[in-house]
Chain A
Amino acid sequence: MKNGHKRVLLILALLLVGVMTVSGCTTAGRQMAQGWAGGVVSDGTIFVGSMEGKLVALGVSDGNLRGDPITLVAQAQSSGFGCVPTGSSAVAVYGSPVVNGDLVYIGGYDGKVRAYLFESGRLRAEPRWISRQGDIGGSIIGGLIVADGRIYFGASDGIVYALDAVDGHKLWTFETGSKIWSTPTVEGDTLFIGGFDHKLYALNTADGTQKWVFETEGTIVSTPVVSGGRVYIGSFDRRVYAVDTTSGGEVWRFPETDDEVDTPIGWFWATLLVHNGAVYAPNLDGKVYVIDATSGNRISDFDLEGPISSAPVLVNDRVIVATTSTNRAKQEGKVFALDTTSRQQTMLQDFEESIHAPLFADGTTVYVHTMENFLYAIDTETGAGRKYTLSAETSE
């Protein structure tokens, strides 16, 4: 082969590798874990996990920082190539922080739970404790739950963990068949959690033993919701299930079959919401399905024309829900208020930013954390908004 041709072939090969490498580091290919944590409001302070892997505390009234934002740092594996960072890096945060007394807990993509002290209106930079290396073997995507002095959560290693909320010691574990991205729900002495193995588990909170297991036909990442002796769950099989909390038996499924008219065509990713005898089930197909909580029959649906992956919240008989962009190239997000009585929908805000983080509320104010790392406070009564810039440590 001619030298020139060889050179051309070499360049082409390098080009191919270059395209693969570049596409592996950008949104065209592999997407790095960015995180999309929500937050919580406690005693006039907002605690939120930022897109930069920080735990941020802000005053509700003035928007000022309550202590320096704390960067959750992980030691990245050395690679020396491409987009994989070397040395220490910020940890992506998907689960919302939780507050218990004067401690704030947050789970990271590095598989660690950290507890920080919040005292005298300031967040302390030194962690009270960090779960020990090797204690947790997988990334934490779902949120943490604190109940009865314990922290419960599932991890990508397929294990459900219970830690002591005071010192972070592991109390018990329960191994499932696959990854867990779902946030658990605790009701009485039972913990409910779904997994990638298509199963919904009911565990004893005391020792982590299994009470029952219910199997769907798809992956479960949404948080189970318990109401009236039933646990409601959405699945990737494009169905919503109502399961008896005591026996684990199926009460109903929606839709019954794939052949029904206007069946959901996307995954049920976001957490369901139960209110006044109806289940509000957001779907990635852009609709919120309203299902009779007793019979499982469809009541109606709201067509919001944008995928819904963030958990909705209930504010004064209105379901507040956010949609996100329909394609990767366009960043947009809308916040709607769905009236549970009149079945009317109202758009509260229209952003040019995607929304995946769960919404959280304080009184009539709903907080929206966008993928551009802004936190918006929206008054659901007036529609007035306020913007907090989490990365620049200031508010507008």
Chain B
Amino acid sequence: MKLLAPLRSWAVASAAALLAILLAACSTRPHDTIVVGSKNFPEQALLGEILAQHLEARTHLRVERRFYLAGSYICQQALLAGRIDTYVEYTGTALTAILHDPIESDSSAVFGKVKAQYESRFGFEVLPSLGFNDTFAIVVRGEDARRLNLKTLTDAARYTPQWRPGFGYEFMERPDGYAGLARVYGLKFAAPPRVLDLGLLYRALLDGQVDLVAGNSTDGLLAARDLVVLQDDKHYFPPYEAVPIARQDFLARYPEVRDAISALAGQISDAEMQKMNYAVAGEGRDASVVAREFLRSKGLD
């Protein structure tokens, strides 16, 4: 039949092509190459570089970088599908955004839950924390902290009725943000919060337009300016410890990776992360260079 003869050969050709593609899909990654992923902000790129360079130094594996993936869900899917082999997640984010469990404040409880559920539900291993806790930070000017002898949020609660706060959109909206904070510490302010872009918050604080802001505990500016982070003495904010995640079968295949990553446990303090963040975001330096300097300073390269 005139019509179907070409169709038959096209069908065979395309079936063959499809088959070839599917087979190729199973085997394009060259042997002994691993992929480190990261989310799409500078701190994550730094952590990704630290992980990648350390692995390059300590194992004989080739490391590819797949950074700036847009968020936790994307990284999760990429890890499941094998497009990346490891990335650094935050325990609080894992608990709420991936596992959809309610948020808690006890950091070891959170770590335990995340580790157990990641193993049972996804076959992922949660490796020990890198050391810092990238949680919310309530920040005031250094001069105010010294003058009023402020160390904790409870201390500050006495003076907030005279202050104007400044928060980002997310902090205003999140249930574990402003609403809960005000409730737990009984905070009252002189005026409703000014809602600003994250990048403008610290400038507004330093200029005196606001007196108290909510940032992140590892923000670079905290290391570079006269700013003080108030202690969360009532443990309101959930923990966001930085933990490397990897598939269990991947670690079983490359045990040297687990050893190498475990060597990074506890190596990065809040202050050290702040300094690195400032170098990249504030001074515009290259993340891979900053990461290399850090590893060298710790003898981990």
Chains A and B are bound partners = no
User: Which residues of B are at the interface with A, using a C-beta cutoff of 8 A?
Assistant: none
